[in-house]
Copies of this chain bind each other. A is one copy, B any other.
Amino acid sequence: MTSHDRQYADARYLSQLLVSIAEQAKADFADTVAPLGLPIHLARAVLLLDQPAPMRDLADQLACDRSYITNLADQLEELELVERVPGQDRRVKLLALTKKGVQTRDAISKAVAERSMVLQRLTDAQRETLRPLLELLAGQE
């Protein structure tokens, strides 16, 4: 086996690990927010709305179409977690958390952190080591 082959085998193995970790993380997230009555995308949107944000921005962050955000926003309004507020540019609508939305966001945030694999399976030192590697992988160098 050449060193080249070994690199490839290594890359494949790590990629598989990443995929399976990601799937587990996603499933954990879904399980964590389900008791709050929220499907995964609604919960993610709530977490992203730390500040009121244009619907367009949300579409970028969730990597989906604007029309789908309309859909999510309708559901979030129905649940009274979010309000549409007009922006300075009058084409724009901002999504802003309601009081109930803020409470929900805090609850999600806490539940997610408590149950996270990252907290349960790694020590402080291990997390410190992991962080820069993930940042490199995420492409924020």
- Point out the residues of chain B lying under 8 angstroms from A13, CB to CB: 131
Integer count of this chain's copies in the complex? 2
Q: Given the known A-B contacts A15-B112, A113-B15, are A20 and B122 also in contact in the complex, defined by CB atoms under 8 Å?
A: no
Contact B17 A138 (CB under 8 A): yes
Q: Interface digits, A96-133 against B, CB 8 Å rule (1 contact, 0 not)?
A: 00000000000001101110111101101011011101
Range class of the A interface residue count: 35 or more
Contact A126 B136 (CB under 8 A): yes
Option from B12, B127, B129, B136 in Cβ contact (under 8 Å) with A112: B12
Contact B110 A136 (CB under 8 A): no
Cβ-based interface call for A34 (8 A): no
Closest to A135 in B: B17
